[in-house]
């Protein structure tokens, strides 16, 4: 085994594998210390990647050369696009995973990367010298030296599982927990907090009556995440929808006090948007039933994940309650549901490049920053990996802003607010969401992928051609006209005209690419038959006005972002600034006036005082 690395990554979950992969591909020697080398990127809970907001992250990760999109495209069992009845800003992809095949794919992929060494061990102590990280001591006493460390410890830091009154020290059922690493962070002076999450029981699909449930098929054409995926013989698997009953409500309500969530055994906060079944019946007491999605865990298994039935009730109550759900009257539980509490480090302690403020060269990514979700973790892992390499090369950090990427929105949210509950991404968190859509992730990220050499040159060139072809297509749609008699009901909206351009036709509410395609054969221009080009052109045309308006707002936003504040700036001398604002600025250490304005509790008045001070003293402030 090698005992010296450029980058050590602690934890081979979704954050850890992206961090290891990207730092290795950027030319650094990466050591991935993880408890169990066969469990890389194992999904702890829901066997699915994406969904609203999260899918935007997956597209950005993929456009930056990351792993998640490739892994799920190769191993997904059902692909769907959500929100298509709404605007393109919120169109999202969600893919049901084959949990074990996804994990195998990542294990094999990492094995093939020559710059990554996987070390099966429990990292116990962080070693520092003069305020910088210099190594890691494993719990079995091995000393591994390095220049940077990225901690991606997930739900394992101080992990404690609860099933009814039973408590087990573990980050996931049947696995270990990392207590010594928590102690080491505490000794270094980091503030640690406690959060919780939970998971439903898993079910034996052979004991489910699917005829009583509603079928949920996948979509065609298959909406893969990556643009070059092709699985010719692949057949999608269905999911099913069912409901809890009055009897489920009665049983769960009767046993509220047997759940550690209510009995006082757990005090930490869980994900608000992913409540347990006992939480749902408690908080929405007037709601008679809740929907559950029955999702296969994979192709070669009969195990089913009942999405919506997360619980920490005692096992026998879980069993009783789930058998009252429609179609699950005879169901057998294969694994019980449980809740897990874990340590995290409130993210005011990291900079926007994910490096800790306290120890140079030490980075945090994933659940340790208070987030929840595979995609959030993977995105941070990728960003931390790139930034660890830039740190080693003494280059400027890679920071995406809120108008460029959901990755930027997430990291900005984390570093300007105190996380007191698990953070998950939604499209509603992005104020410039029309500019940062799923479909334009490559437009936004490829220039960075090119800078860091993370995507093949051929792919980048093919994309340049796609952009050029889209422009040509838009030109053709603008210059070709169609007689209104050919437009049916839509034509009636143009009584005073003989003809309109295809561009104008596409702009009409309700008209889609689907309506346009049959008309294109009537024209002489060289229209593309590439659906992607048509879709891109259509979005550009239909939303041009809104996109321009958003661009004006982004320009204003960028102005504030460009007013940078030095890292060690002393706020104490600013007369007229409230003490509370001074404390907040000192705690969060914003990198720009824009970021300062978003810190929780900061008022426009505080920002105005800071702005005037920065302008007045610009010659004496060192940046």
Q: Which of 156, 309, 364, 569 binds ligand FAD (CB under 6 A)?
A: 156
CB of residue 117 to ligand FAD, shortest distance in Å: 14
CB of residue 439 to ligand FAD, shortest distance in Å: 24
Q: CB under 6 A: which stretch of 65-73, 152-160, 187-195, 445-453 binds ligand FAD?
A: 152-160
- How far CA 580 is from CA of 415, 420, 572, 575, 605, in Å, comes to 18, 19, 11, 13, 13
Give me the helices (H) in 354-487, please.
374-392, 406-416, 441-451, 457-479
Q: Determine if residue 139 is left, alpha or beta; phi over 0 gives left, psi from -120 to 50 gives alpha, anything else beta.
A: alpha
Q: Which is nearer to ligand FAD, 198 or 314 (CB)?
A: 198
Q: CB under 6 A: which stretch of 13-21, 448-456, 546-554, 605-613 binds ligand FAD?
A: 13-21
Q: Which is nearer to ligand FAD, 281 or 374 (CB)?
A: 374
Q: Which is nearer to ligand FAD, 173 or 511 (CB)?
A: 173
Give me the helices (H) in 232-307, please.
246-254, 260-263, 277-283
Q: Which is nearer to ligand FAD, 9 or 474 (CB)?
A: 9
Tokens 């892994």 belong to which residue? 71
Q: Which is nearer to ligand FAD, 37 or 490 (CB)?
A: 37
Count the residues in the chain.
623
CB of residue 289 to ligand FAD, shortest distance in Å: 20
d(CA 74, CA 530): 23
Q: Which of 47, 366, 385, 491 binds ligand FAD (CB under 6 A)?
A: 366
Q: Which is nearer to ligand FAD, 78 or 197 (CB)?
A: 197
Q: Which of 22, 123, 436, 534 binds ligand FAD (CB under 6 A)?
A: 123
Helix H or strand E encompassing 180: helix 180-187
- Residue 524 has a CB neighbour count (10 Å cut-off) of 7
Nearest by Cα to 74 from 49, 39, 37: 49
Q: Which residues contact 596 (CB under 8 A, 6 or more apart)?
A: 565, 585, 590, 602, 606, 607, 610
Q: Which of 9, 58, 118, 152 binds ligand FAD (CB under 6 A)?
A: 152
Q: Which is nearer to ligand FAD, 304 or 574 (CB)?
A: 304
Q: CB under 6 A: which stretch of 150-158, 279-287, 350-358, 575-583 binds ligand FAD?
A: 150-158
Q: Which of 31, 50, 198, 218 binds ligand FAD (CB under 6 A)?
A: 198
Looking only at residues 334 through 353 of this chain, which bind ligand FAD when binding is defined by CB under 6 A? 340
By CB under 6 A, residue 306 contacts ligand FAD: no
Q: Which is nearer to ligand FAD, 270 or 352 (CB)?
A: 270
Nearest by Cα to 126 from 68, 187, 167, 174: 187
By CB under 6 A, residue 126 contacts ligand FAD: no
By CB under 6 A, residue 226 contacts ligand FAD: no
Q: Which is nearer to ligand FAD, 356 or 372 (CB)?
A: 372
Q: Which of 181, 261, 405, 596 binds ligand FAD (CB under 6 A)?
A: 181
d(CA 217, CA 239): 6
d(CA 516, CA 210): 39
Q: Which of 23, 78, 367, 440 binds ligand FAD (CB under 6 A)?
A: 367
- For residue 80, the number of C-alpha atoms closer than 13 Å in the C-beta half-sphere is 17
By CB under 6 A, residue 44 contacts ligand FAD: yes
Q: Which of 16, 50, 88, 260 binds ligand FAD (CB under 6 A)?
A: 16
By CB under 6 A, residue 103 contacts ligand FAD: no
Pairing assessment for the beta strands 239-243 and 291-296 based on DSSP bridges = antiparallel
CB of residue 195 to ligand FAD, shortest distance in Å: 10
Q: What tokens were used for 449?
A: 């992928």
Cis ω for the linkage preceding 221 (within 30 of 0): yes
- For residue 282, the number of C-alpha atoms closer than 13 Å in the C-beta half-sphere is 14
Q: Are 318 and 333 in contact (CB under 8 A)?
A: yes
Looking only at residues 255 through 284 of this chain, which bind ligand FAD when binding is defined by CB under 6 A? 274
- CA 313 to the chain's CA centroid: 29
Q: CB under 6 A: which stretch of 110-118, 154-162, 482-490, 532-540 binds ligand FAD?
A: 154-162
Q: Which is nearer to ligand FAD, 100 or 602 (CB)?
A: 100
By CB under 6 A, residue 311 contacts ligand FAD: no
| 3-state SS, residue 160 | strand
By CB under 6 A, residue 222 contacts ligand FAD: no
Q: CB under 6 A: which stretch of 7-15, 283-291, 433-441, 543-551 binds ligand FAD?
A: 7-15
Strand partners, 481: 501
d(CA 161, CA 163): 7
By CB under 6 A, residue 33 contacts ligand FAD: yes
Helix H or strand E encompassing 205: none
Pairing assessment for the beta strands 92-97 and 4-10 based on DSSP bridges = unpaired
Q: Which of 5, 8, 13, 66 binds ligand FAD (CB under 6 A)?
A: 13
Q: Which of 5, 7, 11, 260 binds ligand FAD (CB under 6 A)?
A: 11
Q: Which is nearer to ligand FAD, 8 or 581 (CB)?
A: 8
In sequence order, what DSSP letters do the residues of 577-602 get, joined into one string? --HHHHHHHHHH--SBHHHHHHSTT-
CB of residue 143 to ligand FAD, shortest distance in Å: 15
DSSP state of 218: P
By CB under 6 A, residue 172 contacts ligand FAD: yes
Q: Which of 7, 35, 449, 533 binds ligand FAD (CB under 6 A)?
A: 35
Q: Which residues contact 188 (CB under 8 A, 6 or more apart)?
A: 126, 128, 358, 359
Q: Which residues contact 459 (CB under 8 A, 6 or more apart)?
A: 228
By CB under 6 A, residue 571 contacts ligand FAD: no
Cis ω for the linkage preceding 499 (within 30 of 0): no
By CB under 6 A, residue 182 contacts ligand FAD: no
Point out which residues bind ligand FAD (CB under 6 A).
Answer: 10-16, 33-35, 39, 44-46, 122-123, 152-156, 171-172, 178, 181, 197-199, 274, 340, 366-367, 372-374, 377, 424
């Amino acid at each position: 085994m090698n005992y010296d690395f450029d980058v050590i990554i602690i934890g081979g979950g979704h954050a850890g594998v992206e961090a290891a992969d990207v730092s290795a591909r950027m030319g650094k020697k990466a050591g991935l210390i993880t408890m169990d080398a066969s469990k890389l990127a194992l999904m702890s809970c829901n066997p699915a990647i994406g969904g609203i907001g999260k899918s935007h992250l997956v597209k950005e990760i993929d456009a930056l050369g990351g792993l998640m999109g490739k892994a799920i495209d190769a191993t997904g069992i059902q692909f769907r696009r959500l929100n298509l009845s709404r605007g393109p800003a919120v169109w999202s992809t969600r893919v049901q995973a084959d949990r074990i095949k996804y994990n195998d794919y990542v294990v094999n992929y990492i094995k093939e990367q020559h710059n990554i060494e996987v070390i099966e061990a429990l990292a116990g102590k962080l070693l520092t010298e003069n305020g910088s990280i210099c190594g890691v001591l494993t719990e079995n006493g091995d000393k591994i030296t390095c220049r940077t460390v990225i901690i991606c410890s997930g739900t394992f830091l101080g992990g404690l599982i609860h099933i009814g009154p039973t408590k087990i020290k573990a980050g996931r059922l049947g696995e270990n927990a990392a207590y010594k690493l928590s102690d080491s962070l505490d000794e270094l002076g980091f503030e640690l907090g406690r959060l919780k999450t939970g998971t439903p029981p898993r079910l034996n699909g052979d004991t489910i009556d699917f005829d009583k449930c509603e079928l949920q098929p996948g979509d065609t054409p298959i909406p893969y995440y990556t643009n070059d995926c092709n699985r010719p013989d692949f057949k999608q698997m269905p999911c099913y929808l069912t409901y809890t009953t009055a009897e489920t409500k009665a049983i769960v309500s009767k046993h509220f006090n047997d759940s550690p969530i209510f009995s006082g055994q757990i005090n930490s906060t869980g994900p608000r948007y992913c409540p347990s079944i006992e939480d749902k019946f408690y908080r929405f007491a007037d709601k008679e039933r809740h929907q559950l999605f029955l999702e296969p865990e994979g192709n070669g298994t009969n195990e089913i994940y009942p999405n919506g039935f997360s619980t920490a009730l005692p096992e026998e109550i879980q069993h009783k309650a789930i058998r009252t759900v429609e179609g699950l009257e005879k169901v057998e539980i294969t694994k019980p549901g449980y809740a897990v509490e874990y340590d995290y480090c409130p993210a005011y302690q990291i900079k926007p490049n994910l490096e800790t403020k306290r120890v140079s060269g030490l980075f945090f990514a994933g659940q340790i920053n208070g987030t929840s979700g595979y995609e959030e973790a993977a995105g941070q892992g990728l960003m931390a990996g790139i930034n660890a390499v830039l740190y080693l090369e003494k280059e400027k950090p890679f920071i995406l802003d809120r108008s460029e990427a959901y990755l930027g929105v997430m990291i900005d949210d984390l570093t300007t607010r105190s996380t007191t509950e698990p953070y998950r991404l939604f499209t509603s968190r992005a104020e410039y969401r029309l500019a940062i859509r799923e479909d334009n992730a490559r437009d936004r990220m490829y220039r960075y992928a090119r800078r860091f050499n993370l995507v093949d040159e051929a792919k980048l060139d093919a994309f340049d051609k796609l952009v050029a072809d889209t422009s040509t297509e838009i030109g053709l749609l603008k210059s070709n006209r169609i007689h209104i008699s050919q437009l049916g009901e839509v034509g009636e909206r143009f009584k005073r005209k003989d003809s309109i351009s295809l561009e104008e036709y596409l702009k009409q509410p309700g008209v889609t690419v689907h309506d346009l395609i049959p008309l294109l054969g009537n024209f002489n221009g060289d229209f593309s038959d590439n659906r992607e080009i048509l879709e891109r052109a259509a979005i550009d045309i239909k939303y041009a006005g809104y996109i321009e308006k958003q661009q004006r707002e982004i320009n204003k936003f960028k102005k504030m972002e460009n007013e940078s504040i030095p890292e060690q700036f002393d706020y104490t001398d600013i007369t007229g600034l409230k003490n509370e604002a001074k404390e907040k600025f000192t705690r969060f250490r914003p990198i720009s006036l824009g970021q300062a304005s978003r810190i929780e509790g900061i008022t426009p008045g505080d920002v105005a005082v800071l702005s005037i001070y920065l302008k007045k003293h610009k010659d004496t402030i060192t940046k």
